[in-house]
Structure 1
C-alpha cells in the first residue's frame, strides 16, 4: 500500500509529488504530464503571468522556469511574454528532474478501502493508497452557458477544446467571454483566417497595464507591490496570504473565489485584438438554435433590444466552475459525504488541504473557495505543495511512511481488480482523463 497517490500530473500534481518524494513518502504519480497545457491550448498562445511567478515547486527551490530557459537559450524575463509551448516543455523537464516517475494511466474511480483508498485505472489492476491527493486541473470543470446546451455538439465548443484553430479559416465564429482565453482565442482565430466576433456581457473590456519594473524606488514598491498574481496590495494579499483567506467566513471565501481577479486581457494582446476583432459588448446570450449547419444566437442588449447573430460555430471561453458533482472519478457516496464551503460545491479543506474525509486531499481549482484565487493559477502550487504534504504526513501520523526508501515509487498493487463498494457506490463511472 502506497503512502500517497497523486492523481493528476499538471503543475500542482508534479509539485506535490516532488515534495512528497523529498519527504520520504512512498508516492505514486498518475496522469499525463502537463496535459491541459499540451493538449488544450492553441498554438500561438502565450503565458499571461510573469515567468518569475510561474514556477513549479520543488522543496529545495530549484528547477525553476528561469533555470530551464537558461539551459535552452530561451528568454524568461519580466515583461516579456513566454510561449505556452515553452512553459509546457518546462513542466515536462520538471517532471524528469524533480518528481517521481509519472505513470501515464487513466484513473477511472477512487473508492474508500478500509482506512485508505482503492484507485482504479483503465490500464491494469487497482492500487491501494493510505492517502490520495486529487490535482486534476480544470478540465473536469469547463463551463458552458446554459443557452448552448441544447445545441448539437458540433455547433459549439469550449475554448479548451482546440489545439489547432486553422480549421475555422474563412468561417464566422462567435467567441463568448471577456477574459484572456476569450480575447486571445479571438485574436488567434483572426490571425489564422477566421472571422471572429467577441460577445460579452460587460460594457467594456479590461486590460492589464504594462508591468512596472521589478527594481523600483522603495516608496513605489510600498505603494504598489509586485506579487505572483499582479501588482497592487489586493493582488498581493491573494498571492501571499492564502492561509489568511481560509480563516474568513465561508460566504466571504465563496465571494472572493468567484469575483477576485476578474476577466482581463494581457497588455501585450491589446493592440493585436483591437486591430482585428469586432466586439458586441453589453450583450447577454439568452438563446441559441441550430439552423442547418449554422447557429443563431439570440442576444439582448442592456437596453432590452434583441440582436440575432448568425455564425458557423460558437466557442465558449467562459471559464471553469469548481463542482464536486462533476468529479466523476470520485466514488459518488464519498462525494456526497464531503463537507463543502458554504452553499457551494467545492470541498471544505483543512490548513493542510485535507477534506472532511480523512486522507483525501484536494489541490488546484477545487481549493479556491477555501484558500482564495491563487489556487486558480500556477503560482498557487508553491503555497500548496509543502502544506499538503505536511497534511499527508500528519494524517499518516505515528505509523510513519511505509516506503522502502525515500521517494520510492512503489510497485505493489491491490491483489484483486474488483471494486470496493464504498458508501453509495454506483455500478460504474465513465473514464476521466487526467489533466
Structure 2
C-alpha cells in the first residue's frame, strides 16, 4: 500500500498544499481536478476579495517548493480570488508538474474488490478511485491513501428555508443566482432581493447597494431568516477586513440603500410576467423581484465516498471528529481550534476529508485551518506521528460568531456589536 500514490481529490488551495507537503516528504501523489486548471472553483469567485491577507493564504510547504523556481511570495494586501489563483495556485500547480491532472472528474472511491459492507481484509485492499475525463472516458486509479479536498463550492444551499428548494424554486432557475454577483449593472432600476445572512450575502448586498446609490429606482431588499442582521464583531474580529465588511453593510442599511426584512423564511417562489415573488412561511411576500440572489451557504457532496465507511456528523455533514468544535448551534464566538489527522481520522484507514468539505455545512472556514489540516495529515501518512500530533497554528479570534443566539432573537452572541435590529415588514400576500 505504501508503494501506491496518495490520490488527492481537488486542486484547490488545500489539495495543492497537501501535495506539496507529501512531495516534500517523498511520497508519490496524484492530484485530480475536474476543472480545466488548478484553482478552478476559486476562479469562479475571482472577483471577490478575501478576508485573509497574503501571508495567511500561502502554505509553508508550498512556499518551500515554489521558492527555488524564482517565484516571489506576495507579502501584503488582500487579494481577490483571481489574484490568489494567478499569483499562487497556478504557479504551485506548475511546480508540482505532472502530479496535477486537470479535466479529470472523480466519480467515486471504494476499496478494490470490497464494497462498504465487507469486513474481511478491508484495510489490506488498495483504494480504487474511479474517474471520467472530459471526453467521457472512464478509468480507475489505485491509491494507498485518499485525501478528499473537493470542497463544497459546487453544492450551494437553496433559498428554501427548510433546506430544500422552495416550492417553485427549481422552475425559475434563470431568476435565482447562488453566487456573489460581479457585474450588477443589468439590475439597474429593478427590485432585487438577497437571501442569506453570511459574508457572501453581505458582499452581494454591498455591490447592489452601490448600484442603488448610482441608479435611482434600484431597490435592494435583504431577506433574513432570523431576527437581526449579523454584521460582524467589530474590533473583536481578528480578521479586520471581515469586520470592515460588516461595517460597510451596516452603513448601507443606515443610509437607506438597503431594506432589511427579518424573520423571512422562503417557502415558495412564484414566477409571473413582472418577475418573481418570494413568499415566506408566515405568508409575507416580496413581490415583483427582477432577480434573487440566494446566498445561504454550501453543503458537501458525499456521494463521491458512498462506497466507503465515513464518519460524518448527522447535523453538519462535517467530519465527525471536528463537528463539536465548529457547530454554530454551540459556538457563538471565539477561536475554533485547529484540527489535524487525529480529529480527521475516518473508519476507513487511509482516508481523510480536509478543507471546506471537512466542515460540511458549517460556516467560516479559513485557508489557514486547511493548511494546518493537510500538514498534519501528510505527516501522519509519512509515519511522522509526532509532527502529526503537533499544533502549529493559532487561529484569529471570532472564527465563528453569532450562531448560538436563539433562532428568532438578535441577542446571544458574545461578540462586540454584532447586530443591527430592524423590524419586519408586514407585506400581505397579494
> Which TM-score band (shorter chain)?
0.5 to 0.7
CA shift in 2, pair 1:147/1:96, >3 Å: closer
Question: What is aligned with 2:49?
Answer: 46
2:127 to 104, 117, 120: 117
Is the contact made by 2:178 and 2:294 (CA closer than 8 Å) also made in structure 1?
yes
Q: Work out whether residues 176 and 293 of structure 2, in 8 Å CA contact, stay in contact via their aligned partners in 1.
A: yes
Q: Secondary structure at the match of 1:92?
A: helix
Q: CA deviation at 1:177?
A: 1.0
> Which residue of structure 1 aligns with residue 204 of structure 2?
185
For residue 121 of structure 1, report the CA deviation from its aligned partner: 2.7
Q: CA deviation at 1:57?
A: 4.1
**For the structure 1 residues 25 and 12, does the alpha-carbon distance in structure 2 shift closer, same or farther, using more than 3 Å as the test?**
same
How far the C-alpha of 1:56 sits from its partner, in A, is 3.2
Which of 343, 355, 375 aligns to 1:364? It is 355
Give the count of matched residue pairs: 329
- Within-5 A mapping of 1:83-232: 83-96=80-93, 99-101=96-98, 102-114=100-112, 115-123=125-133, 124=137, 125-144=139-158, 145=160, 146=164, 148=166, 150-151=168-169, 152=171, 153-159=173-179, 162=181, 164-192=183-211, 195-208=219-232
Q: Cα 1:293–1:267, aligned 2, differ >3 Å: closer, same or farther?
A: same
Tell me the secondary structure at the aligned position of residue 352 of structure 2: strand
Larger relative contact order (Cα-Cα within 8 Å, sequence gap ≥ 6): 1
Question: Normalising by the residue count of structure 2, what TM-score does the alignment of the two structures yield?
Answer: 0.65
Query: How far does the alpha carbon of each residue in 1:390-414 deviate from its partner, in whole angstroms, 9 at most, with x for none?
Result: 2323499xxxxxxxxxxxxxxxxxx
Q: 1:384 aligns with which of 357, 366, 373?
A: 373
TM-superposed CA distance for 1:15, in Å, is 0.7
Note the C-alpha offset of 1:354.
3.4
The one of 280, 298, 303 equivalent to 1:299 is 280
**Contact kept? 2:50, 2:81, Cα under 8 Å:** yes
**Aligned partners of 2:50 and 2:32: how far apart in 1?**
25
Using a 3 Å threshold, how does the CA distance of structure 1 residues 352 and 62 change in structure 2: closer, same or farther? farther
Q: How does 1:180-329 map to 2 (within 5 A)?
A: 180-192=199-211, 195-208=219-232, 265-267=245-247, 270-271=250-251, 274-275=254-255, 276-292=257-273, 294-299=275-280, 306-322=284-300, 326-329=301-304
Give the drift of 1:100.
Answer: 4.5
Provide Cα deviations, 1:284-326, integer angstroms capped at 9, x if missing partner.
32332222462111136xxx6734433122211101234xxx3
Output the CA distance in 2 between the equivalents of 1:134 and 1:12.
Answer: 10
Structure 1: unaligned runs, 5 residues or longer: 71-75, 212-223, 232-260, 397-435
Q: Does 1:354 align with 2:345?
A: yes
Q: Indicate the RMSD between aligned Cα atoms, in angstroms.
A: 3.7
Task: Find the residue that maps to 2:312 and give its secondary structure.
Answer: coil
Aligned-residue offset at 1:159: 2.0
Q: How far apart are the structure 1 equivalents of 2:54 and 2:201?
A: 22
State the partner residue of 2:311. 339
1:183 shift after superposition:
1.4
Partners of 2:74 and 2:101 in 1: CA distance: 26
Conservation of the 8 A alpha-carbon contact between 1:198 and 1:277: yes
8 Å CA contact retained: 2:127, 2:144: yes
**Equivalent residue, structure 2, for 1:37:** 42
Preserved contact between residue 352 and residue 389 of structure 1 (Cα < 8 Å): no
CA distance in structure 2 between the aligned counterparts of 1:328 and 1:168, rounded to whole angstroms: 37
CA spacing shift, 1:381–1:147, aligned 2, 3 Å: closer
| Structure 2 residue ranges without an equivalent (≥5) | 113-124, 322-340, 386-430
Distance 1:58 1:141, change over 3 A: same
Secondary structure in 2 matching 1:141: coil
